[in-house]
Amino acid sequence: MAGIQLLGAVDRSASNVRAVCRAAGLTERYFYESFGDRDTFVRAVYDEVGARARSALIAAVEGAPANKRADAAVRVFVELMVDDPAMGRVLLLAPLREPAIGTSGVELAPRFVTLVREQLAIEDPDKRHMVAVGLVGALTSLFMGYLEGTIAVPRETLVRHCVELVESAGR
């Protein structure tokens, strides 16, 4: 989707309506008939990336044995967010930079917390929830740092660290 590449570009200035139309081969009229305005377009792109990430994580966890779920979830998230940095920038960085989706990021985070919470083997439901919130926050910060270049380690080092973080949080 052209929107992901434009909104997730390092130089976000290219995500104006004209640039989107040029990249997608659309007329501005079609753009406005489809989305109404730029903010609606930005929210649609963000929602698409969020849905892809959630679906991929659910499939990874459901398809893995219990003792490999953390590894499967981290690896699929890395494939989506790091191997395709435009997707990562849309999901993790755009809510900080795009007023149109600032609240969308806040609304999407609890869905990821729920996914993580369901995988934790912690008896106390309050503690399990707090650990899940903290874990999602920590992982988000790690991936943001990796995408922005403030964490400069090999990909596999990032994966191993995130898996260890998830596994230790579940104890």
Alpha-carbon gap, residue 22 to 80, rounded angstroms: 25
Determine, yes or no, domain membership for 87: yes
pTM of this prediction?
A: 0.87
Residue range 106-139, pLDDT digits in tens: 788 888 999 999 889 899 999 999 999 999 999 9
Q: Report pLDDT for 141.
A: 95
Determine, yes or no, domain membership for 129: yes
Please compute the mean of the pLDDT values over residues 144-162 and round it to a whole number: 96
Determine, yes or no, domain membership for 19: no
Determine, yes or no, domain membership for 57: yes
Alpha-carbon gap, residue 120 to 103, rounded angstroms: 27
Determine, yes or no, domain membership for 61: yes
What domain count does the chain have? 1
Q: Report pLDDT for 146.
A: 96
Residue range 4-36, pLDDT digits in tens: 988 898 876 567 888 888 888 889 999 999 999
Determine, yes or no, domain membership for 126: yes
Helices marked H in the chain: 2-7, 17-24, 28-35, 38-62, 69-81, 85-88, 94-97, 102-117, 125-148, 155-169
- CATH number of the domain enclosing 83: 1.10.357
Task: Write the CB contacts of 159 (distance below 8 Å, at least 6 apart in sequence).
Answer: 74, 75, 78
| Cα of 85 vs its chain's centroid, Å | 10
Determine, yes or no, domain membership for 26: no
Determine, yes or no, domain membership for 165: yes
Decide: 44 and 35 in contact? Cβ < 8 Å. yes
Alpha-carbon gap, residue 67 to 93, rounded angstroms: 31
Q: Range of 91's domain?
A: 39-169
